[in-house]
């Protein structure tokens, strides 16, 4: 086989250089050049004749779309309901799914469980691991349900060996754990470097498409939160799933960032247990049941894609000596908290002064939507005043039901509508939450401004303390 030569390509502007350079000669960015394999000259090199045509290329007649045969995808069900739903109904043969997430989040567990189920359903599977030995994989599989122990494994980091094995074994579904640990011998970079990751993914993609193998590609997320460096893989694969949550917490969410065969609106919620990941089909019930109803707590009717989800938002405001004081968030955007605090102080008469403010979405869930603003504001207001939200229950035993809310906060202190108010409201009603405070037009207890929302949610007098 003719050995391909390599060039260095800038991941930012695409400029090429014959050797590695610290700074890209094209765009001037630093550390963006990554090694890439090039087909031997003559095979694929573009002619510079002005037409951009290679000498051997021949024109092909384009086909009208109506006469294209579109195969309906048969799906391979992993029998993990939340995973199948996020995938859009199961794995599509020949497709590449990238599962990203930080170390320890449960990527290997999820993919092992999926393969176990597929193997149990009579599918040919293969688990390729460059991270763990076969013995380690076995120890995990022993904890998992289903036919996880029947899955054939290959502990290997050499890309050529993996490709040859895939070609010989012809599995229907294969897991590569992880794309960063495989090494293409014809590139010099270390495994996990941008050039290597791109080459590994590219060659696996080509084989998978040719042999109709559905591949689950596991990828670690860097500290900055991107998959394998500068998102080099996202355009290559059919589907990008992000596995999120905090390692110490029990709940994990799986969401699709890209899906060629389904929507990107669905989110799966899992819980890590002794026997692997367990689906949390009714996550709202869990989170509402666990809501504390104490001062600084409120339930947010959030939308996770097309699915309403009730989560508890908690705030703590505590005196601080620090300048500037701390603003610590978990599960929401830090800039959003800054905005909410500013509007609370300016338009709703709730100042936090120089106190530290901590805001947390309970359960380790992340809510990335403007609809969370009001919940953050009400949780902080309740924490500042030291009073639980809602009307006091019998004998000052605390609010009867947790207060629920949703809505975006504008810079002038107004409440703005957000998507799917009806679904949010229906979910809150399903769990008996009352009141549900929302922006005008939401059919909840509508309030026009943040000031009105604070007034509606916070009893004006502190409850009499039990003697
Ligand atoms: P793992 O799937 O190895 O994470 P990743 O591949 O994303 O790095 O598992 C992560 C954690 O899950 C690990 O700390 C052990 C824990 N775990 C359980 O709590 N229960 C189980 O049944 C299994 C298999 C793992
Ligand atoms: Mg792993």
Per-residue pLDDT tens digits of the chain, which is 467 residues long: 445 578 888 877 778 888 888 888 888 888 888 887 776 554 444 444 555 555 678 899 998 988 888 777 789 999 999 999 899 899 999 999 999 988 889 999 999 999 999 999 999 999 999 999 999 999 999 999 889 999 999 999 999 999 999 999 999 999 999 899 999 998 888 888 888 888 999 999 999 999 999 999 999 876 555 554 446 788 889 999 988 877 777 788 898 888 998 887 778 889 888 889 998 878 888 888 888 889 999 999 998 777 789 999 999 999 999 889 999 999 899 999 999 999 999 999 999 989 999 999 987 788 888 999 999 999 999 999 999 998 665 555 555 678 999 999 999 999 999 999 999 999 999 888 878 999 998 888 889 999 999 999 987 755 444 33
Residue nearest to atom 21 of ligand 1 (CA): 276
Ligand nearest to the CA of 148: 1
Query: How far apart are alpha carbons 196 and 34 in whole angstroms?
Result: 8
Q: Which atom of ligand 1 is nearest to 103's Cα?
A: 8
Instruction: Record the tokens describing residue 188, joined without a space.
Output: 């010099």
436 CA → ligand 1 middle, Å: 38
DSSP 261-314: TS-S--EEEEEEETTEEEE-TTHHHHHHHH---STTEEEEEEEETTEEEEEEEE
**pLDDT of the residue at 463:** 47
132 CA → ligand 2 middle, Å: 8
| Residue 26: count of CB within 10 angstroms of its CB | 16
- DSSP for residue 73: P
Contact 241, 75 (CB under 8 A): no
276 CA → ligand 1 middle, Å: 7
* Greatest CA separation for the chain: 93
112 CA → ligand 2 middle, Å: 10
Query: How far apart are alpha carbons 446 and 239 in whole angstroms?
Result: 39
Q: Is 109 in the pocket of ligand 1 (CB under 6 A)?
A: yes
Ligand nearest to the CA of 111: 1
Instruction: Record the tokens describing residue 176, joined without a space.
Output: 């590569």
Instruction: Record the tokens describing residue 429, joined without a space.
Output: 């009603």
Query: How far apart are alpha carbons 307 and 255 in whole angstroms?
Result: 12
Ligand nearest to the CA of 105: 1
Q: Is 107 in the pocket of ligand 1 (CB under 6 A)?
A: yes
Could you check whether the bond before residue 178 is cis, i.e. omega within 30 degrees of 0?
A: yes
95 CA → ligand 2 middle, Å: 21
Bridge partners, 76 (sequence order): 91
Half-sphere exposure of 394 (CA within 13 A, CB side): 0
Residue nearest to atom 8 of ligand 1 (CA): 104
Q: What are phi and psi of 99, to 5 degrees?
A: -110, 115
Query: How far apart are alpha carbons 315 and 362 in whole angstroms?
Result: 10
Residue whose entry in the numeric block shows the structure tokens 């590449």: 96
Mutate which of 105, 109, 218 to test ligand 1's pocket (most atoms within 8 Å of Cβ)?
Answer: 109
21 CA → ligand 2 middle, Å: 33
Q: Is 272 in the pocket of ligand 1 (CB under 6 A)?
A: yes
Q: What are phi and psi of 91, to 5 degrees?
A: -80, 140
Mutate which of 106, 127, 181, 273 to test ligand 1's pocket (most atoms within 8 Å of Cβ)?
Answer: 106
Contact 360, 314 (CB under 8 A): yes
Ligand nearest to the CA of 140: 1
Q: Is 103 in the pocket of ligand 1 (CB under 6 A)?
A: yes
Q: Is 275 in the pocket of ligand 1 (CB under 6 A)?
A: yes
**pLDDT of the residue at 225:** 54
Query: How far apart are alpha carbons 260 and 434 in whole angstroms?
Result: 40
> Which strands sit side by side in the sheet containing 16-17, from one edge to the other?
16-17, 5-10, 33-38
Q: Which atom of ligand 1 is nearest to 111's Cα?
A: 2
Q: What are phi and psi of 335, to 5 degrees?
A: -65, -30
Q: Which atom of ligand 1 is nearest to 131's Cα?
A: 6
Please state the separation of Cα 423 from the chain's center in Å: 22
Say whether 107 sits in a helix, a strand or coil: helix
3-state secondary structure 181-247: CCECCCCCCCCCCHHHHHHHHHHHHHHHHHHCCEEEEEEEECCCCCEHHHHCCCCCCCEEEEEEECC
| Nearest partner of 331 among 293, 302, 351, judged by Cα | 302
Please state, in angstroms and as integers, the Cα–Cα distance from residue 205 to each residue in 124, 217, 400, following that order.
Answer: 18, 10, 56
Cα 219-220-226 angle, rounded to 5 deg: 100
Query: How far apart are alpha carbons 219 and 111 in whole angstroms?
Result: 12
Parallel, antiparallel, or unpaired for β 356-361 and 436-438? Answer: unpaired
108 CA → ligand 2 middle, Å: 4
Query: How far apart are alpha carbons 118 and 375 in whole angstroms?
Result: 41
Q: Is 108 in the pocket of ligand 1 (CB under 6 A)?
A: yes
Query: How far apart are alpha carbons 294 and 390 in whole angstroms?
Result: 10
Bridge partners, 176 (sequence order): 128, 217
Residue nearest to atom 22 of ligand 1 (CA): 276
| Nearest partner of 205 among 243, 232, 244, 241, judged by Cα | 232
**pLDDT of the residue at 384:** 95
Q: Which atom of ligand 1 is nearest to 178's Cα?
A: 6
Bridge partners, 127 (sequence order): 153, 175
**Global pTM value:** 0.76
Contact 350, 320 (CB under 8 A): no
Q: Which atom of ligand 1 is nearest to 272's Cα?
A: 19
75 CA → ligand 2 middle, Å: 25
| Nearest partner of 314 among 332, 334, 289, judged by Cα | 332
The number of residues in the chain equals: 467
Contact 204, 54 (CB under 8 A): no
């Amino acid at each position: 086989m003719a050995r391909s030569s390599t060039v260095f390509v800038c991941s930012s502007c695409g400029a090429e250089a014959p050797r590695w350079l610290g700074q890209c000669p094209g765009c001037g960015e630093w550390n963006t050049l990554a090694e890439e394999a090039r087909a031997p000259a003559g095979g694929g090199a573009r002619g510079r004749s002005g037409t951009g045509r290679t000498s051997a290329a021949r024109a092909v007649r384009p086909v009208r779309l109506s006469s294209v045969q579109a195969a309906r995808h048969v799906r391979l069900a992993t029998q993990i309901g939340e995973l199948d739903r996020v995938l859009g109904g199961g794995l599509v043969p020949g497709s590449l799914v990238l599962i990203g997430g930080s170390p320890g989040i449960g990527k290997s567990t999820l993919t092992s469980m999926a393969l176990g189920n597929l193997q149990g359903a009579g599918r040919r599977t293969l688990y390729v691991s460059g991270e763990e030995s076969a013995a380690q994989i076995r120890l995990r599989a022993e904890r998992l349900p289903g036919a996880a122990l029947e899955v054939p494994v290959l502990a290997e980091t050499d890309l050529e060996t993996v490709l040859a094995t895939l070609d010989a074994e012809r599995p229907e579904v294969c897991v590569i754990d992880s794309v960063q640990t495989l090494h293409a011998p014809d590139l010099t970079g270390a495994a996990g470097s941008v050039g290597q990751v791109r080459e590994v993914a590219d060659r696996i993609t080509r084989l998978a498409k040719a042999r109709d193998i559905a591949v689950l590609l596991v990828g670690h997320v860097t500290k900055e939160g991107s998959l394998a460096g500068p998102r080099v893989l996202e355009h290559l694969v059919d589907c990008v799933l992000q596995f999120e949550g905090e390692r110490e917490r029990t709940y994990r969410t799986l969401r699709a960032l890209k899906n060629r065969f389904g929507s990107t609106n669905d989110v799966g919620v899992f819980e890590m247990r002794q026997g692997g990941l367990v689906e949390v089909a009714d996550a709202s019930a869990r989170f509402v049941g666990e809501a504390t109803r104490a001062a600084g707590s409120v339930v947010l009717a959030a939308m996770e894609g097309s699915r309403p989800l009730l989560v508890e938002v908690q705030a703590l405001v505590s005196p601080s000596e620090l300048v500037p004081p701390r603003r610590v968030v978990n599960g929401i955007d830090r800039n959003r908290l800054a905005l909410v605090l500013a509007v609370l102080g300016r338009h709703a008469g709730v100042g936090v002064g120089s106190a530290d403010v901590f805001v947390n979405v309970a359960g380790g869930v992340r809510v990335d939507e403007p609809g969370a603003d009001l919940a953050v504001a009400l949780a902080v207001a309740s924490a500042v005043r030291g009073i639980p939200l809602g009307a006091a229950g019998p004998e000052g035993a605390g609010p009867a039901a947790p207060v629920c809310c949703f809505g975006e906060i504008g810079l002038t202190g107004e409440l703005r509508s957000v998507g799917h108010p009806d679904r949010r409201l229906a979910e809150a009603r399903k769990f008996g939450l009352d009141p549900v405070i929302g922006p005008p037009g939401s059919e909840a207890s509508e309030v026009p401004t943040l000031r009105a929302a604070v007034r509606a949610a916070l009893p004006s007098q502190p409850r009499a303390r039990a003697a």
